A = this chain, B = another copy of it.
Amino acid sequence: MAHSAGTSVHLIADIADASGLDDLPLIEATLREAAKAARVRVLDVRLHHFGAGMGVTGVALLAESHISIHTWPEDGLAAVDLFVCGETADPEAGLETIRQRLRGTVRERHTIRRLRVSGATPFP
| A contact set with B: CB distance below 8 Å | 1-2, 4-5, 8, 10, 12, 14, 16, 43-44, 46, 48, 50, 54-55, 57, 59, 61-63, 65-66, 68, 70-72, 74-75, 77, 79, 81, 83, 108, 110, 112, 114-117, 119-121
User: Is B1 a contact of A50 with CB atoms below 8 Å?
Assistant: yes
Interface of chain A, main secondary structure: strand
**What are 7 A-B contacts defined by CB distance under 8 Å?**
A1-B70, A5-B77, A44-B46, A72-B115, A75-B119, A75-B121, A81-B83
- Complex interface: chain B residues within 8 A of A115 (CB): 14, 72, 75, 77, 79
User: Is B48 a contact of A57 with CB atoms below 8 Å?
Assistant: no
